[in-house]
Amino acid sequence: MTASAQEEMTPMAQADTNPLLAEWTGPYEGVPAFDEMQLDALKPALEAGMAMQLAEIDEIAASTEPATFENTIVPLERAGRELDRVFTYYGIWSSNMSSPEFREIQQEMAPKLSEFSTRISQNEALFERIKAVREGDGYADLRDDQKRVVDLTYDGFVRNGAELDAEGKARYAEINKQLSVLHTDFSNNVLHDEEYYVTYLTGDQLGGLPDSFVRSMAAAAEERGRPGDYAVTNTRSSMDPFLTFSTERDLRETVWRTYYNRGDNDDEYDNNDIIAKILQLRNERVGLLGYDNYAQWRLEDRMAKTPEQAYDLMLAVWPAAIARVEEEVADMQAIADEEGADITIEPWDYRFYSEKVRKAKYDLDSDEVKQYLQLDKLREAMFFVAGELFGFDFTPVEEGSVPVFHPDVKVWEVTNRETGENVGLWYLDPFARQGKRSGAWATSYRSYTTYDGETNVLASNNSNFIEGAEGEPVLISWDDAETFFHEFGHALHYLSSNVAYPTLNGGVRDYTEFQSQLLERWLLTEPVIETYLVHHETGEPIPDDLVAKIKNAATFNQGFATTEYLASALVDMKYHTVDPTGIDPDAFERETLEELGMPDELPMRHRSPHFGHIFSGEGYSAGYYGYMWAEVLTADAAEAFADAPGGYYDADMAKKLVEYLFAPRNSMDPAEAYRLFRGRDARVDALMRDRGFPIPDGE
Ligand SMILES: [Zn+2]
């Protein structure tokens, strides 16, 4: 069928013929038809899916019966299944199998999808019914998890302006529209400065740089029409190695200044005015809803709950971080003096001299470590850990029995070790290829729920390992091995869910990274080392002294890493707690850092004019603290295992881990769930120990 013929069909007719909308069939309660994905079908499928969901919503909203949990909330949970299925394929095209043709459809559909969600969130009749359930007599008789679904749904509507009057709603929508333009402009300006400013070098300016980096610089120059030159592009992956290795101090300063001035060059791509406008609009919008400041609104449904709690954590760690910077700078200055460099350490010297400190104090040969990290063995190690802690068994499905979108993708059946019952499937797409986004991520194609009968889980992990030669093991770096475990932690979080309703599978941003960070800790446990971290030729386990070096290296340069991160997180929080009327971001940033006592030798990890996490959208605005919030939980929970009689494989602890930290997803308040696991709130001490910092007094 041609695309145009499909576009003319009604939503119901689409549902009968469009493969992307179709009910999943086949084994394991039905699986996505990844072998039938046709890009032609995507746009009509999205349009039909939206139309079908809006029809379902209208039907719920139009009901004349008194609103109840069963006739309002449950059908709302159920609405949009067809569109959900389309989004499974959409996610594959966007992350695993992208193409210019797909990106065209994506651009065309983005505003339509945003309009679609506004139509739901501003549906007044629907909100009235949700409110009636929330405030009605029946609410008290609901189960706790049902109450939570009602609360999360109700709060979501209120937090997005459902209770405003007509004038307020109109202004609210107008602000959001303006913000979406400003967010896009902000990120395009950063992109411009990343692409436009390139530092070109000649062959006699390459002192200290590793061969592989020189080759990539030559290729980057050639790509830009300057064959024979060498290009340092204005991105972290280019700046970082250059500043670490280049012996040309003046050039280090140039590259450093170019990088940290992205979006701050006083030209048409300068972001300072945009930041001021964004902050004022955000503040006005939450003002309409009655909040004092943006951070208050943002953190209300996060684990931290209030800006004050997030500040407390950050300021507890800050003094130790800047004190450590002072020690690191002293170490570096000593090396520079010994070499007779006759300099004072400046920000463009930090990476260069810290690399010399690393070599002297922590030398770890990453190539030596790699010999013990085979991709297949690591996967078996993850299965082993999942078996011990979660009672899951992983068995490969028969080749061809479950459709996949690329021959590299392999699928395992996950079963409950005790009962033999099917828990779900685990898809692994391990290797890099054209059209696949970089990095590693986890996703689920179907989540566990019980409200319409039990469903099994379809979880996936995706990485960008480089495929080895035929018959050769794939060897990966230590960082990549940790990330592999991390992403598998997300998959286990999906697979262990025991919630009743879809809404309860939702993530809380400062909490959902914790479970996956925690799983990384099993990589260095005794049984994993003994059986799985073995040399690819000799089969010998990784030697103790190499393990000790890996552990020791974890505290290297923590002053720098923690301070550059916290400076960004603190400035983010302050931007979103002050009155932004007439704010001058440049002065604000400088004064805030001065008040904090920011060391002169390093900048914020992301300076305001290119802080995309908080100004390219709202995902991390007033939320950059969340990485450290999750790490506090991770370090504290890991110590609970380390101290248990059975260590990391203690049966009691494993039971609590699954029961309180993984299975409930968002069906229970995260702080309460953590207390049930640990018997108390998390403390910051363990994180301080992990980073090699002294513990603050009174802890
Ligand atoms: Zn993660």
List Cβ neighbours of 351 (8 Å cut-off, separation of 6 or more).
Answer: 240, 243, 244
506 Cα: distance to centroid of ligand 1 (angstroms): 14
33 Cα: distance to centroid of ligand 1 (angstroms): 27
341 Cα: distance to centroid of ligand 1 (angstroms): 42
441 Cα: distance to centroid of ligand 1 (angstroms): 7
509 Cα: distance to centroid of ligand 1 (angstroms): 10
442 Cα: distance to centroid of ligand 1 (angstroms): 8
Digit-coded pLDDT (tens) for 407-455: 999 999 999 999 999 999 999 999 988 888 877 899 999 999 999 999 9
Q: How far is CA 216 from CA 209, 229, 230, 239, in A?
A: 11, 11, 8, 13
237 Cα: distance to centroid of ligand 1 (angstroms): 20
- With beta carbons less than 8 A apart as the criterion, state whether 622 and 308 touch: no
671 Cα: distance to centroid of ligand 1 (angstroms): 19
Q: How far is CA 566 from CA 298, 323, 325, 683, in A?
A: 19, 13, 13, 18
Mean pLDDT of 505-516: 90
195 Cα: distance to centroid of ligand 1 (angstroms): 28
Tell me the two tokens of residue 338. Answer: 């010994």
594 Cα: distance to centroid of ligand 1 (angstroms): 33
Mean pLDDT of 165-185: 89
Cα separation, 443 vs 447, in Å, equals 10
DSSP H stretches of helix in 136-208: 144-159, 166-196
- With beta carbons less than 8 A apart as the criterion, state whether 519 and 489 touch: yes
578 Cα: distance to centroid of ligand 1 (angstroms): 30
Q: What is the pLDDT of residue 469?
A: 80
Query: Minimal CA–CA distance to 528: which of 497, 488, 491?
Result: 488
Strand 441-446 relative to strand 422-431: parallel, antiparallel, unpaired? Answer: unpaired
331 Cα: distance to centroid of ligand 1 (angstroms): 34
Q: What is the pLDDT of residue 529?
A: 97
Tell me the two tokens of residue 674. Answer: 């953590």
Q: Rounded to 5 degrees, what angle do the CA atoms 498, 503, 505 make?
A: 40
351 Cα: distance to centroid of ligand 1 (angstroms): 27
440 Cα: distance to centroid of ligand 1 (angstroms): 9
Cα separation, 673 vs 637, in Å, equals 12
Q: How many CB atoms lie within 10 A of CB 482?
A: 16
Q: What is the pLDDT of residue 466?
A: 83
Query: Minimal CA–CA distance to 271: which of 28, 53, 560, 584?
Result: 584
167 Cα: distance to centroid of ligand 1 (angstroms): 40
242 Cα: distance to centroid of ligand 1 (angstroms): 28
Q: Long-range contact list for 310-315, CB < 8 A, 24+ apart? A: 310/573, 310/625, 310/629, 311/570, 311/573, 313/625, 313/628, 313/629, 313/632, 313/684, 314/566, 314/569, 314/570, 314/573, 314/625, 314/628, 315/570
Average pLDDT, the chain: 94
DSSP letters for 150-164: HHHHHHHHHHTTTTS
225 Cα: distance to centroid of ligand 1 (angstroms): 38
375 Cα: distance to centroid of ligand 1 (angstroms): 19
Q: What is the pLDDT of residue 1?
A: 36
List Cβ neighbours of 491 (8 Å cut-off, separation of 6 or more).
Answer: 426, 442, 444, 459, 460, 461
Cα separation, 65 vs 133, in Å, equals 12
582 Cα: distance to centroid of ligand 1 (angstroms): 37
Mean pLDDT of 462-487: 90
Q: How many CB atoms lie within 10 A of CB 114?
A: 13
563 Cα: distance to centroid of ligand 1 (angstroms): 22
489 Cα: distance to centroid of ligand 1 (angstroms): 8
490 Cα: distance to centroid of ligand 1 (angstroms): 7
Mean pLDDT of 395-415: 97
Digit-coded pLDDT (tens) for 48-68: 999 999 999 999 999 999 999
520 Cα: distance to centroid of ligand 1 (angstroms): 11
219 Cα: distance to centroid of ligand 1 (angstroms): 32
209 Cα: distance to centroid of ligand 1 (angstroms): 32
492 Cα: distance to centroid of ligand 1 (angstroms): 12
Q: Rounded to 5 degrees, what angle do the CA atoms 373, 375, 377 make?
A: 75
Q: What is the pLDDT of residue 699?
A: 42
629 Cα: distance to centroid of ligand 1 (angstroms): 14
First and final C-alpha spacing in the chain: 68
484 Cα: distance to centroid of ligand 1 (angstroms): 10
Quote the DSSP letter at residue 471. Answer: T
519 Cα: distance to centroid of ligand 1 (angstroms): 11
Q: What is the pLDDT of residue 5?
A: 47
Mean pLDDT of 623-652: 96
487 Cα: distance to centroid of ligand 1 (angstroms): 6
Is residue 4's pLDDT more than 60?
no
Digit-coded pLDDT (tens) for 95-149: 999 888 998 898 788 878 878 988 898 899 999 999 999 999 999 999 999 999 9
List Cβ neighbours of 697 (8 Å cut-off, separation of 6 or more).
Answer: none
Q: Long-range contact list for 194-198, CB < 8 A, 24+ apart? A: 194/233, 194/234, 194/235, 194/262, 195/234, 196/234, 196/269, 197/234, 197/258, 197/262, 198/224, 198/231, 198/232, 198/233, 198/234
438 Cα: distance to centroid of ligand 1 (angstroms): 14
479 Cα: distance to centroid of ligand 1 (angstroms): 14
486 Cα: distance to centroid of ligand 1 (angstroms): 6
Is residue 565's pLDDT more than 50?
yes
203 Cα: distance to centroid of ligand 1 (angstroms): 41
Place of tokens 């913000």: 179
List Cβ neighbours of 17 (8 Å cut-off, separation of 6 or more).
Answer: 1, 6, 9
Q: What is the pLDDT of residue 479?
A: 87
491 Cα: distance to centroid of ligand 1 (angstroms): 10
75 Cα: distance to centroid of ligand 1 (angstroms): 31
pTM score of the predicted model: 0.89
Q: What is the pLDDT of residue 12?
A: 67
420 Cα: distance to centroid of ligand 1 (angstroms): 29
93 Cα: distance to centroid of ligand 1 (angstroms): 21
Q: How many CB atoms lie within 10 A of CB 140?
A: 7
323 Cα: distance to centroid of ligand 1 (angstroms): 29
Mean pLDDT of 395-413: 97
DSSP H stretches of helix in 433-508: 478-495
% of the chain at pLDDT higher than 70? 98
622 Cα: distance to centroid of ligand 1 (angstroms): 19
413 Cα: distance to centroid of ligand 1 (angstroms): 23
Helix (H/G/I), strand (E/B), else coil: 231: strand
439 Cα: distance to centroid of ligand 1 (angstroms): 11
The residue length of the chain stands at: 699
- With beta carbons less than 8 A apart as the criterion, state whether 613 and 624 touch: yes
Is residue 377's pLDDT more than 70?
yes
Query: Minimal CA–CA distance to 1: which of 32, 35, 45?
Result: 45
Q: What is the pLDDT of residue 187?
A: 86
414 Cα: distance to centroid of ligand 1 (angstroms): 21
Digit-coded pLDDT (tens) for 250-268: 999 999 999 999 999 999 9
Cα separation, 465 vs 471, in Å, equals 16
Helix (H/G/I), strand (E/B), else coil: 406: coil
513 Cα: distance to centroid of ligand 1 (angstroms): 5
- With beta carbons less than 8 A apart as the criterion, state whether 393 and 415 touch: yes
81 Cα: distance to centroid of ligand 1 (angstroms): 26
576 Cα: distance to centroid of ligand 1 (angstroms): 25
List Cβ neighbours of 318 (8 Å cut-off, separation of 6 or more).
Answer: 563, 566, 570, 596
488 Cα: distance to centroid of ligand 1 (angstroms): 9
515 Cα: distance to centroid of ligand 1 (angstroms): 9
Tell me the two tokens of residue 660. Answer: 């309180």
525 Cα: distance to centroid of ligand 1 (angstroms): 21
Q: How far is CA 133 from CA 74, 76, 121, 282, 414, in A?
A: 11, 13, 17, 30, 38
- With beta carbons less than 8 A apart as the criterion, state whether 201 and 251 touch: yes
Cα separation, 372 vs 516, in Å, equals 23
Cα separation, 596 vs 575, in Å, equals 14
633 Cα: distance to centroid of ligand 1 (angstroms): 14
Q: What is the pLDDT of residue 2?
A: 39
Cα separation, 512 vs 629, in Å, equals 11
198 Cα: distance to centroid of ligand 1 (angstroms): 32
Q: What is the pLDDT of residue 8?
A: 59
DSSP letters for 103-139: HHHHHHHHHHHHHHHHHHHT-HHHHHHHHHHHHSGGG
Q: How many CB atoms lie within 10 A of CB 382?
A: 25
Digit-coded pLDDT (tens) for 578-637: 999 999 999 999 999 999 999 999 999 999 999 998 999 898 999 999 999 999 999 999
Q: What is the pLDDT of residue 114?
A: 78
